[in-house]
Amino acid sequence: MNPLAKDLPSLEVQERIVSILDRFDKLCHDIREGLPAEIDLRQKQYEHYRDKLLTFNQPTPNPSLKGREFRREPCAREMR
Element (H, E) at 41: helix 34-54
pLDDT > 70 fraction of the chain, expressed in percent and rounded: 62
Q: Residue 37: name the closest of 23, 49, 55 by CA.
A: 23
Q: Are 34 and 27 in contact (CB under 8 A)?
A: yes
Euclidean distance between CA atoms 38 and 31, whole angstroms: 10
Q: Is the pLDDT of residue 51 over 60?
A: yes
Model pLDDT for residues 57-79, shown as the tens digit of each residue: 666 666 666 666 555 666 666 56
Q: Where are the domains of the chain?
A: 10-55
Cβ atoms of 33 and 26 within 8 Å: the answer is: yes
